[in-house]
Amino acid sequence: MVPCIERGHSTREGVLMVEIHLEESDRLDWALKAFKRKIAKAGILKDLRKKRYYVKPSEARQLKAAAARRRSRTERSR
C-alpha cells in the first residue's frame, strides 16, 4: 500500500478523508509521521480547534478586528 491523499475526495457528506496506505514492510513510525503531516496539510486539526465551541457572530467580528489590529501593528513596527 502507498501513502495517498486526495483533496476533495469525499466518502460521505463532503467529508475530507485522509488516507495512508501501508505495505507490510513499512515502519510504523514512518506511517504515523506521514499521517500527522497529511492531517496538518489538509487543515483538519485547525478546523477542529476552530469548531471546538460556538462563537457568536459578534464575537467573531471582534476577534477578526483584533487580529487585524495585531497584524497591522506588527507590519508598522518593521
- The domain limits of the chain are 1-42, 53-78
Report how far residue 20's alpha carbon sits from residue 26's, in angstroms, rounded to the nearest whole number: 11
| pTM of the predicted model over 0.85 | no
Report how far residue 44's alpha carbon sits from residue 77's, in angstroms, rounded to the nearest whole number: 33
Rounded to an integer, the average pLDDT of 20-45 is 90
* Structure confidence at residue 5 as a pLDDT band (50, 70, 90): very low
Looking at residue 39, what is its pLDDT?
Answer: 92
Whether residue 59 is predicted with pLDDT greater than 90 in this model: the reply is yes
Looking at residue 74, what is its pLDDT?
Answer: 87
Whether residue 60 is predicted with pLDDT greater than 60 in this model: the reply is yes
Neighbours of 8 (CB within 10 A): 6
Whether residue 78 is predicted with pLDDT greater than 80 in this model: the reply is no
Report how far residue 45's alpha carbon sits from residue 65's, in angstroms, rounded to the nearest whole number: 23
